[in-house]
Amino acid sequence: MKFRWILLLSSFLSVFMSSLPAQGRQLLFFHFDRSQNRLEFTTDVGVQPQAELIANPTRVVINLPGIILGSRTVRQQVGGAIREVRVGQFQNQTTRIVIELAPGYTLNPEEVIFRGMAANEWIVQLPTLQIQDFSPSQLPPAENALDTQVATARLQLDSFQVTKDGFFIRTSGGQPESIKARRSRDRRRIEIEISGATLSQHLWEQELEVNRYGVGQIRFSQIQDWPPVVRITLNVTRDSPDWQASFNRVGGIVVLPKGTTFSSQLNHLKQPSGNPPLMHSSVQRALFELL
């Protein structure tokens, strides 16, 4: 879909860009101003943004070729008609900025304006957001509204808990698309990747000290924004058994050593536990200040 570009730059931009070295290109700052409905970002060198509008959910995607983020994904929670703004490493040499609209809102892509204040300073002005209209033919088939909500909800990992047999991660929303577990060659790390899932603020880039069942630490990472993928990393001893993970209708993901039955884990979870969930034990690091 088309965007409007207002370039307040001189014609030397393309020549200037091609003469820059490949190293050292970084995103220095980004901020979404809710009162002005606009995004501002600055890089340490000139850049030519590439943008498109993507649906389901509606989001403005801005790629910055040649820019290296060099860190994990960073998010700014906005609120209102804008759900959030996030920045991640889309490809090895491309940083991606995503402006995700709240459910039910859309915009006219022809009214999105890009202003280059300098070769490395850009403003993305969004138009007034519109409430999206749905016709009955556009809605997915479902027996009732609750079925539709569950079918379209995104899975979110909310909290982490140590149980008598292993670990339990409480979730909300829908179901994961897939869960895959693999062990590193040195047997000291087990990675569990959950497709179709996001992390809550409580678990965002958290590394928790566990020291149970041969697991020293467990780390939660959002390794991909769209389609969303969460990685759970268990740092284990070499003689620790392999681990498996499965989604359960109890309301979460059960993580157990192989050979442990899920039924015993579920029976335990149904009983009231005197131990509170283990969570937020590490300090979240961020490269950018989200004002």
> What total of structural domains would you count in the chain?
2
CATH of the domain at 63: 2.60.40.3500
Strands 4-7, 113-118: pairing is parallel
pLDDT in tens, the chain (291 residues): 656 555 444 333 333 333 334 455 899 999 999 889 999 999 999 999 999 988 877 889 999 999 988 778 888 888 888 989 999 988 888 999 999 998 888 888 889 999 999 999 999 999 988 876 544 444 344 333 333 333 334 788 989 999 888 999 999 888 899 999 999 999 999 999 999 998 887 787 788 889 999 999 999 988 877 678 899 999 999 988 999 999 986 679 999 998 776 544 444 444 334 333 443 333 233 223 222
State whether 125 and 165 are in the same domain: no
231 within a domain of the structure (yes/no): yes
Query: Do both 112 and 154 map to the same domain?
Result: no
Domain of 86, in residue numbers: 4-129
- Is residue 242 within 8 A of residue 168, CB to CB? The reply is no
Same domain, 260 and 185: yes
Same domain, 64 and 155: no
Based on the domain organization, do 167 and 90 belong to the same domain?
A: no
281 in a structural domain: no
Residue 106 lies in a domain: yes
Q: What would the two tokens of residue 22 be?
A: 């490949």
Answer yes or no: do 119 and 178 share one domain: no
Whether residues 194 and 112 share a domain: the answer is no
Evaluate whether residue 259 is within a structural domain: yes
In this structure, is residue 92 part of a structural domain?
Answer: yes
Is the residue at 190 inside a domain?
yes
Residue 8 lies in a domain: yes
Is 180 contained in some domain?
A: yes
User: 119 and 183 share a domain?
Assistant: no
> Over the Cα atoms of the chain, what is R_g?
22
Q: What is the pTM of this model?
A: 0.45
